[in-house]
Chain A
């Protein structure tokens, strides 16, 4: 991916311009890098700091290195943590299973209509995330277009409902993040050299073996990127749980939001966010080691 090094053109111009060349990349990075430093990296330190404070919204908070906040956070919200990971895991598995055949078909058999299919795949992203989730609420509502009709025709018992169950939340998450799984999968499948597949067909001749021994292993980078791009946002999501879920489907995101923005329990909320971030980071690194550390950036 590297381009050539800067050419020697400027060397003739002498020292000053050479120094300029040295400084140029830093000057280019400065505004954006400074912004990220100030509003992305440094805030993480403040998150850590807030998570070790004590106090309340009226008297203010003080940094007291109160590590017990973490113990409190875990003890109080273990259920929601486990639930978030569980939902994210199931939703990621579902999106992987649903989108693999889809991406495979578009990549290998899409033919002239590839662009159209990709466009359809991306179409949901033209609608606001909140409205998409809201639309599912309308679809799944007890007297909405689907369940209402089925109940009228007595195909479903009157008391049947989907909203406010874990199924609704997981389905919502799976729906919302499907494009993020399908696209990297598509990219990795599309990149597979067709002659390799041809060769494999000549050698193995069995479709299943060609798939298992050639196509699947070569698409692993796509699986890797897709799982990452789905699991991480899914674990931290709270919009689906808030709109499609009920009191028994609260995820850790809902709790962080509630503690931060409604209850103003900043330290507990910060501790929860920090645990979530640290947990996911460790998870990502272990996962990268297991599945190979091919560069993910090219898929993002």
Chain B
């Protein structure tokens, strides 16, 4: 997943340009058309979500049937108090766990890139295990710990869980950024008399900041979206995904699609701005 945050490699000239004299007429449209189709398939649920946020059906439940266009759910997006509370919980958990996971993950990335030490490959292995273990096992294990010690489940346990699954993602993302780092800049700073602390804040941090930011954004996104691990460790507390999942059986109120659409719009806008800014710099 962290792949997404890496920089897009430079463009490479298209190969397989049809050789002169070789005839390939309609067949060369197969792959582009196919790509287009898959793209439509990928975005179709998003379109459905946006579409149904405008469906003119009841306040209690969006019907599968299309009952006409209305924008009246948008001003009433916070009219479901428990849904709003769940969204608020999600935001709190995401904010707190992102701050903790980003700082811890960045420190690990620094250690892994900068130093050779005993236990380095073990640390690597733990990170890999953490990312590749099925979520349900992570959730169930942590719940076993909490059950054994009688820890009541709530927002703190959700935050503990989210930090746990986010550290490795942050580390991987920041490490990718650190790998191309010029050590000589730091050495120059030290030669000029800067202490390690000053060197870090004045030289290292500004350079790796984009990587840290990418890691933090990823952590925030993963946290706000997480369902499985949260479901195991939330107790009776609701987060946005948990609330939506619980509402599936009884009926989804239009506010869910409105919130989904708004969150999507903010996220997509941020991403587009980021890409455009990077392009401008380049």
Contact = CB atoms under 8 A, between A and B. Distances in A.
A264 to B, nearest CB: 9
B117 A120 contact: no
Contacts of A70: none
A108 B16 contact: yes
B65 A143 contact: yes
A68 interface: no
Contacts of B12: 190, 194
B104 A120 contact: no
Interface in B91-142: 103-105, 107-108, 110-111, 113-117, 119-120, 123-124, 126-128, 130-138, 140-142
Contacts, number: 306
A118 B42 CA distance: 12
Given A36-B126, A236-B134, A239-B245, A266 B147 contact: yes
Nearest to A178: B42
Nearest to A273: B140
B71 interface: no
Give the one of B12, B34, B128, B171 with max A CB within 10 A: B12
B141 A28 contact: no
Interface residues of B, number: 105
Given A4-B183, A108-B15, A239-B245, A49 B144 contact: yes
A105 B35 contact: yes
A197 B15 contact: yes
Given A39-B164, A130-B241, A236-B136, A31 B15 contact: no
Interface residues of A, number: 114
B45 interface: yes
Nearest to B38: A102
Contacts of B35: 101-102, 105-106, 117
A6 B115 CA distance: 7
Contacts of B232: 257, 260-261
Interface in A101-118: 101-102, 104-106, 108-109, 111-112, 114-115, 117-118
